[in-house]
Amino acid sequence: MDAGLLKDDVHFAGGCTPCHGGDDTQTDKDLAHRGKVKRPSEDLSLCGKCHGATAARYSKALHYTTAGFRHVVTKRMNHKEARDYNERVFEQSCRSCHATCGSCHVKAPAVGGISIGLIKGHRFVRRDEGKTCAFCHGGRVYPEYTGDYGGKADVHYQKGMMCMDCHSAGALHGDGRAYRFKEEVKGRPSCRDCHRPGNEERLTTRIAHLRHEGKVSCYGCHSAGEYRHCFECHEGGAQSKADFVLGLSPKNNRTVTTLRLVPTVRDSFKKQGVTMTHYDRLPNYWDAPVHNIRKRTDRTRSCEACHEEKRGFIVKERLIKNGSRSNAGVLYEPRPIPAKP
């Protein structure tokens, strides 16, 4: 680290020991580092000494609790299986993905055993989405947004917007309430926060929005094209490939939206003794708020793309093999365009 930080950054006002422990009175390296805490921000109470309100809220935030990974998948399990999953899978594996304060503000966490290390020479960084958000969400979301998958970059990225222009610090730190999954969180980013219905410049655009109100999500029409899907669970050596999937939302079966394959197969946790008795309760396809938005796409240029050619709509033959019986609920066939009299 840059020794100048000891003078320039208020976090080092008391030196290194208030956070990392050790003995700064020793001149021998080994003695000085005895009792050193490698990742002090794992203990939120430490950051809470100065940032009490933020730490208290963050202790219940989904980025810290990773409760979404716990509560969604356990819907497929009976009570005993859910308990075994929590003990043998979630606490041993999934919980390792949670983000501490330091994960975003000092040092990027290790993902798949790889880390980019200190974000900026141990300087406490308020925000740097390209090194923090991108590192954990770089498997799918961030490369979709920047166009690094080879597709078109999101129009918002091209305009200079980054993650926290939509996802605020307050939202990431939480509001002090413990949520089971992100859909319960109030005030999540919405396209309508900026794009108010009725403010369209063109009449044809306003009519299109009115006709599709409540029937198609913004992503359904404005996703630029293919985005990433995972196949096989992580333990089986996850593989990803690009695809574009339209179907009914499992959370609102009246709305067509972009879907992403969730590769939880029937024997994902078989080695841990969890057989998922109620596997068919949930589909393998879930709403995907994809981050490759464009103003004009094949579906905004032509009604025929959906209503005649049915491009992108998932059909029975394309469903994952040996998948959930609930997958049938995401299938949707667009109505043909009425013939002119």
Q: Print pLDDT tens along the chain (341 aa).
A: 777 788 888 898 888 899 999 999 999 999 999 999 988 998 999 999 999 999 999 999 999 999 988 888 999 999 999 999 999 888 887 777 788 999 999 988 777 667 778 888 888 999 889 888 888 888 789 999 999 887 889 999 999 999 999 998 888 999 999 999 888 888 889 999 999 988 999 999 999 999 999 999 999 999 999 998 887 665 555 677 889 999 999 999 999 999 999 878 888 888 889 999 999 999 999 999 999 999 999 999 999 999 999 999 999 999 988 899 999 999 999 999 887 77
Identity at 181, one-letter amino acid code: F
Q: What is the CA radius of gyration of the chain?
A: 23
Answer yes or no: are the C-beta atoms of 261 and 245 closer than 8 Å.
yes
Counts of helices then strands in the chain (DSSP H, E): 17, 5
Position 43 in a domain: no
Task: Tell me how crowded residue 38 is: count the other CB atoms within 10 A of its CB.
Answer: 7
Position 291 in a domain: yes
pLDDT of residue 164: 93
Name the residue range of residue 266's domain: 190-341
- Closest-CA residue to 153 (of 22, 301, 294, 46): 294
Beta bridge partners of 229: 241
How does DSSP classify residue 110? P
List, in order, residues 6 or more apart from 274 with CB less than 8 Å away: 77, 81, 84, 85, 88, 89
Position 89 in a domain: no
Position 329 in a domain: yes
Position 321 in a domain: yes
Position 233 in a domain: yes
Task: Tell me how crowded residue 330 is: count the other CB atoms within 10 A of its CB.
Answer: 25
- Closest-CA residue to 71 (of 181, 223, 158): 181
pTM (predicted TM-score): 0.88
Position 162 in a domain: no
Q: Which burial class, exposed, middle or buried, applies to 225 when counting CB atoms under 10 A from its CB (0-12, 13-18, 19+)?
A: middle
The total domain count for the chain is 1
User: What is the residue whose two structure tokens read 């950051």?
Assistant: 47
pLDDT of residue 234: 54
pLDDT of residue 194: 94
Position 265 in a domain: yes
